[in-house]
Amino acid sequence: MRSEVEAIIQMREEHVTSVNVNTNKSVIERFSFQAPSLIDNAAGETANRDIVVYLPPSYEASPDCFYPIVYVLHGYDASPESWFTQAEGVPALNEIMDSLIESGEVEEMILVAVDGTNSLFGSWYLNSDVSGNAMDYVAKDLIAEVESRYRACSDKRALFGHSMGGFGAFNIAFHFPNTYQAIAALSPAAMMLVPHDYQKHADFFGDQIRRYCNDEDVAWFIIAYLSILRGVAPNADNAPSFIATNMKDAMAALEALGLSQLSKTHARNVGLLPFYTEIGTQEDDVFDMPVLTQFEQMVSTMKENGLNITHTTFEGGHVDKITDQITRALTFIGPFLR
């Protein structure tokens, strides 16, 4: 698995390519750029970002037209290309968008597939003193780069993501509420919904992270947590983990990162910014509480704190209904970008 992700990260090209999806229909373009917020980080993560852009059917023929724009955040152990390389029989993001435009369910929009990869299989779109500021890259660097290249309406901008990207959509919006007009968080990472008592597991996490740093096999979630900890408990002098040496302190910082807790801190600042979130009824449970219970508790806390949030559940798991999820996200976002 690591070799595949590292290959994605290393395949950086400074050029743009255009591919006609269909005659008189949409176009996909790809480009790479150096994100200033990620340059010269202690962990050695690349600042080079590979971006995939969907241009709607009328874009090339309407040079005076400006379009709403949606930034799309992928999940853990994925990449921007994942949105366009679905399993056989599953429509890719561009095909879903083409269909929604053709049916009149949404108006034409630009879609930007964000690069959230790193050497630990995902940045979690967090700012980090050791890995680089991935949140600033998304909310500042990428917007500046993309909207200087394409005809986008700066006052008609949205953000949606799935899994790690669902967490990222919430968290970025909490910190940059005036940057976006709508947010959709699909199946936000189950381990990040409500508070958990991580401190009682400090010894376990410390042991597992040491094993990983010694090139021993560990479960995927240990690597995911290591990436998160580089954001909330960084230590540039503690290579190769680059996290705090005191695991109790690191776990305490992790406990404060759940979406429920973040909403308590940031809900007042986001005003009436509309949020949409959903989760499947067949998600795998994490910790000692069913994921559905955690999700309902998170939404309840967000509403209590005044967040303007719409939520639902659907029959399915984490990735098996992704076409329906993308459709719901785009149809929720659409009216707020008109």
Return averaged pLDDT per consecutive 10 residues of the chain, 338 residues in all. 35 37 76 98 98 97 97 98 86 96 97 98 98 98 98 98 98 98 97 94 97 97 98 98 97 95 94 97 88 96 97 96 97 98
Q: How far is CA 37 from CA 2, 85, 138, 159, 179, in A?
A: 24, 28, 9, 19, 17
pLDDT at 24: 66
Asked if 132 and 39 count as a contact pair (C-beta separation under 8 A), the reply is: yes
**Residue 132, H or E segment:** strand 132-133
Residue in 168, 214, 195, 163 with CA at minimum distance from that of residue 321: 163
Give the largest CA-CA distance in the chain: 60
pTM > 0.85: yes
pLDDT at 15: 35
Q: How far is CA 36 from CA 94, 132, 136, 210, 332, in A?
A: 29, 9, 9, 31, 32
Asked if 315 and 280 count as a contact pair (C-beta separation under 8 A), the reply is: yes
Task: Measure the CA–CA gap between 311 and 326, rounded to whole angstroms.
Answer: 14
Task: Measure the CA–CA gap between 267 and 93, rounded to whole angstroms.
Answer: 30
pLDDT at 288: 77
Q: Which tokens in the block code for residue 296? A: 């309902």
Asked if 150 and 68 count as a contact pair (C-beta separation under 8 A), the reply is: no
pLDDT at 287: 82
**Residue 232, H or E segment:** helix 220-232
SS3 content of the chain, % helix, strand, coil (to 5): 40, 20, 40
Report domain extents, the chain: 2-195+270-337, 196-257
pLDDT at 87: 77
User: How many degrees, rounded to 5, is the angle at CA 166 between CA 163 and CA 172?
Assistant: 140
Number of H helices, E strands in the chain: 11, 11
CATH fold, domain 2-195+270-337, is: Rossmann fold (3.40.50)
Residues 6+ apart with CB under 8 A from 16: 29, 30, 31
